[in-house]
Chain A
Amino acid sequence: MKIAIASGKGGTGKTTVAVNFALALEDVQLFDCDVEEPNCNLFLGFDLEPVEEVTCLVPEINPDWCTLCKNCASFCKYNALAALPNKILSFPSLCHGCGGCRHVCPAESIEEKPRPIGMIEKTSSKNSLTFFRGILDIGEVMATPVIRALQRHIDESRPVILDSPPGTACPALAVMGCADYCVLVTESTPFGFHDFLLALEATRALKVPAGVVLNRDGIGDSRVEDFCRAEGIPILLRIPDERMIARLYSEGIPFIKEMPEWKEKFKNILKTINTVTCKSKGV
């Protein structure tokens, strides 16, 4: 069972939900897939060790063999190659590693060399919670390959919670798309609702069943709830707009540690999800 914690809008509480959810369950894995700003460990404080470096294959052109045909530069949709009258220049930071330039080179003058773009880390200490995270190097733009590399470390035999990047761009879709279920965290404000609809549309396009966690419940209005009732989307949990929860967040403490009554509520999310996904599989 792979559960993605996602949202259209940023700052709705994905990491809060992911961390507390993971701590409430036993024998679970938590993967921080928000590789541009992996925040889970701010709340966990685990010692981490490197697992692997993530690389992207970028072209290296042998000028002795290059015939200056320009096929490579005109093929590259990301403009990572420039064909000057007497030389091909490459800009590795724009390269998406598709290998197309090498494929279209008639002179076989292009070799692909790995370029580091990020890192995968995991907990080094023995914890009941298995924690992995990906980190995209500063200045790099391709989050998706780091997310894909991170996902290869998932142990499919155990439940995993994936903390997704916000939005509905490629990195978020890479996380939502690999999940069996998507928990959409939102708040019932005009902005929260608007971006929730975008995220919901993404889960529908990806054919991943989705439910909602209403965060900061009590602020705004009832527009998310009304919508969910009309559409038959389950509201899995309501986290109230409470000072205690906000204070613990600001101190980097997962709130279930200080408010143990929430453990059961998070466990119930998994029960609901299991029921829904069993039904959708016809079990």
Chain B
Amino acid sequence: MKICISACGKDLDSEVDPQFGRCNYFVLIDPDTGSVTSIINPGSEASGGAGIRAAEAIACAGAGILLTGSVGPKSFSILSEAGIETYSGIRGTVDFALKEYKSRKLAILKGPNTSLSNGMKKS
């Protein structure tokens, strides 16, 4: 059950990116082995349906827990279908987000917390 964090870069020192569908990378941490891997978000450049590609990619990469910021309705439906527990409110580095999750400072998402196409507003 890997922990997945939406991020600007590939490792624990990278800044997190709270835009789930449009972030550049997902950093995946295996809490059992401590291994850190990353995947490129295939949705980051999509003209539409970015969150769909992003959610599909992390489900296929074996994520069980997602730490991010905002999740739209389509992404959320995939995440819940795939049984991925989603937490919002990440900030700082990937490492910091992981620590906040472990100390139960992140809130679990029970539904989408942003509207359609919110990631397009990213500056």
Q: Which of B1-9, B29-37, B74-82, B94-102 contacts A (4 or more CB under 8 A)?
A: B74-82
Q: Which residues of A contact B59 (CB under 8 A)?
A: 84-85
CA gap between A73 and B60 in the complex, in Å: 13
The answer to whether A79 and B78 touch (CB under 8 A), given A85-B59, A85-B60, is no
B51 to chain A, nearest CB (A): 9
Distance A94 CA – B47 CA, assembled complex (angstroms)? 11
The interface bits of chain A over 78-89 (1 if a CB of B lies within 8 angstroms of the residue's CB, else 0) are 111011110101
Q: Is the CB of A94 within 8 A of B77?
A: no
Main SS class of interface, B: helix
Taking a contact as CB atoms under 8 Å apart, the answer to whether B77 and A89 are in contact is yes
Nearest-Cβ distance from residue B43 to partner chain A, whole angstroms: 7
Is residue B52 contacting chain A, with contact meaning CB distance below 8 A?
yes
Given A79-B46, A79-B48, A94-B48, A84 and B53 contact (CB-CB distance below 8 Å): no
Q: Is B112 an interface residue (CB 8 A)?
A: no
- Given A89-B77, A89-B78, A89-B81, is A84 in contact with B48 using a C-beta cutoff of 8 Å? no
Q: Which of A73, A79, A84, A87 contacts B43 (CB 8 A)?
A: A79
B60 & A79 in contact (Cβ 8 Å cutoff): no
The reply to whether A79 and B49 form a contact with Cβ atoms under 8 Å apart is yes
Size bracket, chain B contacts:
10 to 19
Which of B46, B74, B77 is packed against the most chain A CB atoms within 10 Å?
Answer: B74
B81 touches A79 (CB 8 A): no
* Cβ–Cβ < 8 Å partners of A87 in chain B: 81
A65, CB-defined interface residue at 8 Å: no
State the main secondary structure of chain A at its contact with B.
mixed
Say whether B56 contacts A80, CB under 8 Å. Answer: no
A91 interface residue (CB < 8 Å to B): yes
Chain A, residue nearest B82 (CB): A84
CB contact under 8 A between A79 and B52, given known A89-B77, A91-B74: yes
Nearest-CB residue, chain A, relative to B43: A79
Nearest-CB residue, chain B, relative to A86: B82
Beta-carbon nearest neighbor of A141 in chain B: B48
Who on chain B is nearest to A81 by CB? B52
The answer to whether B60 touches A91 (Cβ under 8 A) is no
> Contacts A79-B46, A85-B59 given: A91-B82 contact, CB under 8 Å?
no
* Cα(A78)–Cα(B47), bound, Å: 7
B12 at interface (Cβ–Cβ under 8 A)? no
Chain A, 81-103, CB within 8 A of any chain B CB: 82-85, 87, 89, 91, 94
Interface bits B55-90 vs A (CB < 8 Å: 1, else 0):
110011000000000000010011001100000000
A-side interface residues toward B, CB under 8 Å? 73, 78-80, 82-85, 87, 89, 91, 94
Residues of B within 8 A of A (CB): 43, 46-50, 52-53, 55-56, 59-60, 74, 77-78, 81-82
Q: List 7 A-B contacts (CB under 8 A).
A: A79-B46, A79-B52, A84-B81, A87-B81, A91-B74, A94-B52, A94-B74
